[in-house]
Amino acid sequence: MTREEKSRVIEELTAELTNNVNIYLADISGLNAGSTSDLRRAAFKANVKMAVVKNTLLSKAMEASDKEFGDLPTVLKGNTSVMYAEAGNAPAKLIKNFRKKSEKPLLKGAFIDEAIYIGDDQLDMLVDIKSKEELIGEIITILQSPAKNVVSALQSGGGKLAGIIKTLSEREG
């Protein structure tokens, strides 16, 4: 790879790091070609962008980025794949589901909304992270609940009130 090619790759990686708030680093070494293709297909379906990168180039891109990656560059050893996603938990779910039939990929680390997670032992916690849309949905459900109770109480109360008025009007007649 020429110096110009390396510079171009670093610029592209820096742009990806800057434009994404959810970044996962995984080790997919040891996967055969078929398994790697399956993983890429699963990533595409899960709306997760995945790329195998050279550690030195990714490290330089992290330095060039305006984000603070903390200890994340320390995991850049061996085979590294980068996963980008809109939803913070999408790559974690992808990795967990894929590992039902394979030992890899292993989570090296993640950068999610400026929080840094190091190590494969963080995977279960990352799977449980809720996306912005899921949190908004939960808040809307919580806010709607009291309103639904009031509406149903008014509707049932209205029926009772109408019944009482009807009974009283029939008595007077």
Q: What is the CATH number of the domain that holds 109?
A: 3.30.70.1730
pLDDT tens over the chain, length 173 residues: 888 998 999 999 999 999 999 999 999 998 899 999 999 999 999 999 999 999 999 999 999 998 999 999 999 999 999 999 998 899 999 999 999 988 889 999 999 988 899 999 999 889 888 777 777 888 888 887 777 776 676 666 666 667 777 777 787 65
Reading the block at residue 67, the tokens are 């984000």
pLDDT of residue 133: 75
- How many domains does the chain contain in total? 2
Q: Helix or strand or coil: residue 101?
A: coil
Is the four-CA dihedral 98, 101, 105, 110 of positive or negative sign? Answer: positive
Considering the domain architecture, whether residues 123 and 138 belong to the same structural domain is answered as no
Domain hosting residue 150, numbered range:
131-173
Reading the block at residue 25, the tokens are 């680093």
